[in-house]
Amino acid sequence: MPFSLASLSFWDLLIWCFALAITLGASIVFVLLISLAISQNSIPTKCRPRGSPTHLLVVLGSGGHTAEMLYMLERMKFDPQIYTYRTYLVSSGDNFSADKAKDFEAQHIQNFQGHNHNNNYTIVTVPRARRVHQSYLTAPFSTLQCFWACLNVLRGLHPDQKLPKEYSSPYPDLILTNGPATAVCVVAGAKLIRFFQCLAKCTTLGLGQRKISAFASAPKLRTIYIESWARVSSLSTSGVLLLPLADRFLVQWPAQAGRRAWWGMKKTQYAGWLVI
């Protein structure tokens, strides 16, 4: 006797639908976990030719996060001839971070001879992911607003961005962040864009087309997350969320080294004290 859905009772049909939903959900989660592991362990693009323009995006997370980030850039003897264009991303209302970014450019970047720092950096503002004392009920909506704004920044569509013409791709080559919530939106957005880039490339190759679209061949958005110096033995909330997403995860205390989101993922790397 042939199988027919009409022959099933209501409860049997409900069980079948539930089992199908569980199987489909488990398959999606499995594919997602495998994709994250492959993405995180992929070999980065070789060093760019000397003199080629490089776009760096720096996320300034306000307060201590901003102070740590700018001090790390200063301590590493930041060379604007390597990172030829800089985008500083700040949250709305964070005038402190915007002013500090301007001071950093004026005091440190101008020391390089022949470097016109005024035309080689920009400061963009995005909505806050979550305001202080904001209700957790409304936080998801503000986070989505922040995420969308970060996607526009990564795609070069923010109204404050003025990328010079010599940059063929609107996407930043490297993203540097140390938290907090806005960093999660930026790194997650970069991962999402790279996923669709990979999907577009695979689709193009699968269809037998030799010419890959500009979107699919765009440079990868590599991400580096630096855990705060204040986190000695445990990761911050941002760190926990970004552990499976960031391409490199640097920690400043030995006790934090060797952590990973799950088996097959990259481990955190001990980089020593970067702020002292």
Mean pLDDT of 13-25: 81
Q: Which domain holds residue 254?
A: 53-270
pLDDT of residue 218: 57
Confidence of residue 112 (pLDDT cuts 50, 70, 90): low
Q: Which residue has the higher pLDDT, 46 or 137?
A: 137
pLDDT of residue 196: 83
Containing 250, the helix (H) or strand (E) segment is strand 248-251
Q: Is the per-residue pLDDT at 166 higher than 90? A: no
CA 121 to chain centre: 19
pLDDT of residue 240: 93
Q: Is the per-residue pLDDT at 32 higher than 90? A: no
Determine the Cα–Cα distance for residues 16 and 8; give it in Å rounded to an integer: 10
- One domain for residues 128 and 216: yes
- One domain for residues 26 and 88: no
Strand ranges of the sheet holding 174-177, from the earlier edge strand across to the other edge: 121-126, 85-91, 55-59, 174-177, 222-226, 248-251, 269-270
Task: Say if residue 244 is preceded by a cis peptide, omega within 30 of 0.
Answer: no
Q: What's the mean pLDDT when you consider all of the chain?
A: 82
- What percent of the chain stands above pLDDT 90? 41
- One domain for residues 27 and 89: no
pLDDT of residue 208: 64
Least confident residue range of 61-65, 129-133, 155-159? 129-133
Least confident residue range of 16-20, 210-214, 239-243? 210-214
Determine the Cα–Cα distance for residues 263 and 260; give it in Å rounded to an integer: 7
The domain total for the chain is 2
- One domain for residues 165 and 228: yes
pLDDT of residue 223: 94
Is 158 within a domain? yes
In tens, the pLDDT along 115-125 reads: 555 578 999 99
- One domain for residues 142 and 262: yes
pLDDT of residue 255: 92
Report for 115-129, 130-144, 181-195, 260-274: range of highest mean pLDDT: 181-195
Is 236 within a domain? yes
